[in-house]
Amino acid sequence: VERAAEPSWSGPGRTSDGEPIPLLANVGSAADTAAAVSAGAEGVGLFRTEFCYLDAEDEPAEQAQRAAYTEVLAAFAGLPVVVRTLDAGSDKPLPFLTGSTAEPNPALGVRGLRIGREAVGVLDRQLAAIAGAAADSGAVVSVMAPMVATAEEADWFATRARTAGLERVGVMIEVPAAVLTAQEVFDAVDFVSVGTNDLAQYVFAADRMLGSLAALNDPWQPALLRLLALLGQAAQRTGTPVGVCGEAAGDPLLSTVLVGLGATSLSMAAGSLASVGGRLAAVSREQCVAAAQAALDATEPAAARAAVAEALS
């Protein structure tokens, strides 16, 4: 029913009153890249570089990384691409980084940027490879770090990335502490991107890999949306761009709520671009704000969905 009601879409992303909301793709390989281009993505909001190396026994050489990244970036010459540094650990172990040391709680362990701080050489070589690929490809490249919990971590990463010659630096917002210190995090970076998959996992203390806990990891949970509202308010004060690149961004109805909460771009699987674009083109910014308020006022996901559908009808 949802799908049939959506008007057709051919980019760029914008609300019915003309506010641009760039609609970007999540990619992890050259194959994803082709799908993103043909679906009309305006760029890439999340390039999961660890997907290139899930089977790598050894650290890939800097030049090999540069070539692999260039292959993806070249498809987006002149367009924005956000490259995420290796998000290893937990659900995405990389043999050359996470090794065989088992942690009792990998989702709460040394993962993402925490590994980058232990293996600084690996991070620096990746940053150099990304800077090289940016130069080779002509894409407008930004870089961002996964699993950032504090402003100090954001600042540490930003300094390192800028030293490598990368000018646009951001961090993922996927740990609740980073939302609660958003103002200081924003001081350190040029943009942020919300990973709703992990943010939900950490807000609800509910493993995202467990199907039995899927109801808690539902991005329509009002507690998650209220946290995003705090982030949006903080971002408005500083004018910091806030992307959303978790699965939530690919839900057409929820995309209106995310825009109403302050998202300035949305990044999703290529297959969701048309339905999200169609939905956003049919609603004004004012309606997005009303949708967001309706969702925030709800006490559980089904009620939030129903209230938003009602607010937009």
Question: Does 48 participate in binding ligand PEP (rule CB under 6 A)?
Answer: yes
Question: Does 153 participate in binding ligand PEP (rule CB under 6 A)?
Answer: no
Give the active site residue among 81, 245, 291, 294: 245
**CA-CA distance, 70 to 88, in Å (whole number)?**
21
Q: Which stretch binds ligand PEP (CB under 6 A): 137-145, 161-169, 196-204, 235-243?
A: 196-204
Q: State residue 267 phi and psi, 5-degree precision.
A: -130, 135
Region of residue 168 (phi > 0: left; psi between -120 and 50: alpha; otherwise: beta): beta
x/- string (CB under 6 A) for ligand PEP, residues 197-216?
A: xx------------------
Give the one entry of ligand PEP, Mg ion, none that residue 196 binds, where binding means its C-beta sits below a cut-off of 5 to 8 angstroms depending on kind: ligand PEP
Q: Within a 10 A sphere around the Cβ of 62, how many other Cβ atoms? A: 15
Vertex 168 angle, CA 166 and 37, to 5°: 100
Which two structure tokens, joined as six digits, stand for 291?
């949708």
Residue 269's Cβ-count burial label (10 Å; 0-12, 13-18, 19+) is middle
Q: State residue 146 phi and psi, 5-degree precision.
A: -90, 155
Question: Does 196 participate in binding ligand PEP (rule CB under 6 A)?
Answer: yes
Q: Which stretch binds ligand PEP (CB under 6 A): 17-25, 150-158, 191-199, 301-309?
A: 191-199
Q: Which stretch binds ligand PEP (CB under 6 A): 68-76, 124-132, 195-203, 303-311?
A: 195-203
Dihedral sign computed on CA atoms, order 56, 61, 62, 65: negative
With CB under 6 A as the contact rule, the residue among 42, 59, 174, 218 that binds ligand PEP is: 174
As annotated, the binding site for phosphoenolpyruvate includes 48, 84, 197-198, 208
> Within positions 103 to 142, which residues make up the interface with ligand PEP, using CB under 6 A?
none
User: Distances from the Cα of 205 to the Cαs of 115, 176, 209, 213, in angstroms?
Assistant: 22, 11, 12, 10
- The minimum distance between CB 198 and ligand PEP, in angstroms, equals 3
Interface size with ligand PEP, residues (CB under 6 A)? 10
| Catalytic residue list contains 52 | no
**CA-CA distance, 279 to 247, in Å (whole number)?**
16
Vertex 76 angle, CA 256 and 82, to 5°: 60
Question: Does 218 participate in binding ligand PEP (rule CB under 6 A)?
Answer: no
Question: Does 246 participate in binding ligand PEP (rule CB under 6 A)?
Answer: yes
With CB under 5 A as the contact rule, the residue among 50, 198, 247, 251 that binds Mg ion is: 198
Question: Does 32 participate in binding ligand PEP (rule CB under 6 A)?
Answer: no
Interface residues with Mg ion (CB under 5 A)? 174, 195, 198
Interface residues with ligand PEP (CB under 6 A)? 46, 48, 87, 174, 195-198, 245-246
As annotated, the active-site residues are 245
